[in-house]
Amino acid sequence: MDRSVYIAMTGATQTMRAQDAVSHNLANASTVGFKSELSAFQSVPVLGPGANTRINAVAQGIGQDETQGAIQHTGSPLDVAVNGPGWIAVQSPDGGEAYTRAGNLQIDADGNLLDSRGNPVMGDGGPLTIPQSSQITIGKDGTISTVPMGQGPSTIAAVGKLKLVNPDPTQMSEGADGLMHMNDGSDADADDTVTVTSGALEASNVNPSSELVKMISLSRQYEMQVRSIKTAEDDADDSTKLLQTAS
């Protein structure tokens, strides 16, 4: 009887973890460049001394949905949307290199080009710095061109280039900082085939309706597992009463 309790207990625990993933997706339904997290349940034998009679239900992350979100045109010269597969390289808080698809860039008071979280945006030679300019444009290949302050359009010049990469998604994982990192800790190579659309942003690819349906389904699944635990408890009580009567 305790086998059913064990399976229902682990199932309920892992269902709560799956609900956390769905909640995370829903919370980022309006986050620029966000990719929804995918998870699935697996039955894993519990190993150890004794007979192999217990199964642990485990909710495991299986990566991200790489489907591109809708492109929303903003008209801002510092907004870029990655076209198709690819990532924008930034400097992570620990000083390493990480990757994002959130292209709502900004320039701080010192001229440093930053992402929306304040991480320096990387170029081919390191973090990018933009001189004071009256006009900034970002080309399809990530080249940043500016017109110096007080100068005419004829003085436009390239001042840097976004580092755009496209490593194998299976070799990447999301870190605690919300950025993507290479699993082996290396830096991805720049990929000239990756392009961006200037004056636009990629919306989150989360489908709120689908995620809400998942949440409802998981809630019902959790309730069923809790009822299973209660049923097993009632059966155990009834068995105890029968034994007491027989004695």
**Distances, alpha carbon 5 to alpha carbons 165, 173, 219, 227, 229, in Å:** 48, 34, 18, 10, 5
- pLDDT digit of tens for each residue in the chain (247 aa)? 466 777 777 788 888 888 988 998 999 998 999 988 888 777 777 776 766 666 677 777 777 888 889 999 999 999 999 999 999 999 999 999 999 999 999 999 999 999 999 999 999 889 999 998 889 999 999 999 999 887 878 888 899 999 999 999 889 988 888 899 999 999 999 999 999 999 999 999 999 999 999 999 999 988 988 888 888 777 777 777 777 776 6
The answer on 114 and 142 residing in a single domain is yes
Expressed as residue numbers, the domain containing 151 is 71-202
Please report which residue ranges of the chain form alpha helices under DSSP H: 2-27, 208-246
The answer on 84 and 175 residing in a single domain is yes
The answer on 182 and 110 residing in a single domain is yes
The answer on 142 and 47 residing in a single domain is no
**CA neighbor of 121 nearest in space, from 141, 148, 102:** 102
pTM of the model: 0.77
The answer on 216 and 188 residing in a single domain is no
What was the pLDDT predicted at 149? 82
The answer on 85 and 197 residing in a single domain is yes
Last residue of a domain, one of 168, 185, 202: 202
The answer on 96 and 39 residing in a single domain is no
The answer on 164 and 80 residing in a single domain is yes
The answer on 175 and 79 residing in a single domain is yes
What was the pLDDT predicted at 53? 64
Number of H helices, E strands in the chain: 2, 18
What's the structural domain count of the chain?
2
Strands 143-148 and 157-161: antiparallel
Listing DSSP states for 34-69 in one string gives: ---EEEEEEEEE--SSS-S--EEEEEEEEEE--PPP
Q: Which residues are within 8 A (CB) of 31 and not within 5 positions of it... i.e. 6 or more apart?
A: 102, 204
The answer on 76 and 196 residing in a single domain is yes
The answer on 89 and 57 residing in a single domain is no
The answer on 111 and 131 residing in a single domain is yes
What was the pLDDT predicted at 40? 78
What was the pLDDT predicted at 199? 95
What was the pLDDT predicted at 50? 62
What was the pLDDT predicted at 52? 67
